[in-house]
Amino acid sequence: MNKRWLSYGAYSFFIWFGSSCLASEATDWDELSPTMQKTLSGFSAHWNTLTDDKKQSLQTAATRWLEMSDGQRAEAQKRLERWKTLTPNEKTSVRKRYQQFKNLSPQDKEKIRTQFKRFSNISPARQQRLKQRWKNLTPEQKTRLKRQIKNLR
């Protein structure tokens, strides 16, 4: 796989989803470890033109990328490929929902994660039926259903 694609992929994925890891403080290319340089090789030509914040973000993303297992990297690459297929409006919508999620309480975040896991564990055919059923509802029906679900909690 193209190393440049991996570098940009790692950057895009982790900047979007954030990172809790702290990267090194190095700002000059020569101060980066050989492993970090290899991971960030797609940025080497214009590294010195980047802001310190951008460099720090890239280093943080690269650190997180390097700590991933092969399976985690494959999943990240799949998400990146999916992201690339989204329209600008869809990307805006995803960013908005992500921001809303970040602002939720820890309890609400956990509820959403639990529901997502439940949905993920049902068969793809059933998932598709549920998605289609939701899509076919009128806005009023969706609002009513959301209220009913909220009242169940």
pLDDT digits (tens, 9 = 90+) for 110-129: 988 998 999 899 999 999 99
The CA distance from 73 to 141, in Å, is 40
Burial code of 74-111, b = ≥16 C-beta within 10 A, e = fewer? eebbeebeeeeeeeeeeeeeeeeeeeeeeeeeeeeeee
Calculate mean pLDDT across residues 78-94.
Answer: 93
What average pLDDT does the chain have? Answer: 84
End-to-end CA, the chain: 46
pLDDT band, residue 5 (cuts 50/70/90): very low
* 153's tokens: 């909690």
pLDDT band, residue 28 (cuts 50/70/90): confident
Calculate mean pLDDT across residues 64-82.
Answer: 93
Calculate mean pLDDT across residues 66-80.
Answer: 93
DSSP state of 24: P
Contacts of 22 (CB under 8 A, 6+ apart): 60, 63
Calculate mean pLDDT across residues 10-21.
Answer: 48
